[in-house]
């Protein structure tokens, strides 16, 4: 049992170190994937398009860096900026969304990349605290299971 807990502890420790070391690469990769999701938005109604809509609605943002990122997509030439960028769904017409100057007043102007990364960074202290607490319980479990193993080994002849 101690060996299993030690293995899990080491895996979590390695994952945390790798995540910390490669955090900049993770950000860059996220930005390029978000940009790719915008370019392929609604080509096929897939989960990537749904994820973009959910991010934009939830965080009140639009595009990667700002709302003008949509102008470089194929979707914009057909339908304009997506409705998930609208500040007020009832006050957002398709004509407004096709004109970048009108859209600026109707949609969220901030980009999603900065909001997602800042949200993740602000929650990292909570995740780190919870992870540290779990690691402490794992270490206590390892120590107690080693103590139990030693106790059983020392007293095996007394049990008979």
CA dist., res. 82 & res. 76, Å (int)? 8
Q: What is the pTM of this model?
A: 0.67
Could you tell me the pLDDT band of residue 159, with boundaries at 50, 70 and 90?
Answer: low
CA dist., res. 126 & res. 138, Å (int)? 18
CA torsion sign for 66, 71, 73, 74 is positive
Which CATH superfamily is 1-158 part of? Tetraspanin (1.10.1450.10)
Contact 67, 108 (CB under 8 A): yes
- What's the pLDDT tens digit per position in 70-105? 888 888 888 888 888 888 888 888 888 888 888 888
Q: What is the token pair recorded at 59? A: 């965080």
Contact 88, 59 (CB under 8 A): no
* Domain locations in the chain as residue ranges: 1-158
């Amino acid at each position: 049992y101690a060996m299993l807990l030690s293995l899990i502890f080491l895996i979590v420790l390695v994952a945390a170190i790798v995540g910390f070391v490669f955090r900049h690469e993770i950000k860059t990769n996220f930005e390029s994937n978000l940009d790719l999701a915008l370019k392929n938005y609604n080509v096929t109604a897939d989960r990537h398009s749904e994820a973009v809509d959910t991010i934009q609605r939830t965080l009140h943002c639009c595009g990667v860096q700002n709302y003008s990122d949509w102008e470089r997509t194929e979707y914009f030439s057909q339908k304009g900026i997506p409705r998930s960028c609208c500040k007020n769904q009832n006050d957002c017409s398709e004509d407004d969304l096709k004109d970048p100057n009108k859209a600026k007043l109707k949609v969220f102007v901030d980009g999603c990349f900065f909001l997602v990364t800042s949200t993740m960074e602000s929650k990292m202290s909570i995740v780190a605290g919870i992870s540290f607490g779990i690691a402490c319980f794992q270490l206590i479990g390892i120590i107690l299971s080693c103590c139990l193993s030693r106790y059983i080994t020392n007293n095996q002849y007394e049990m008979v």
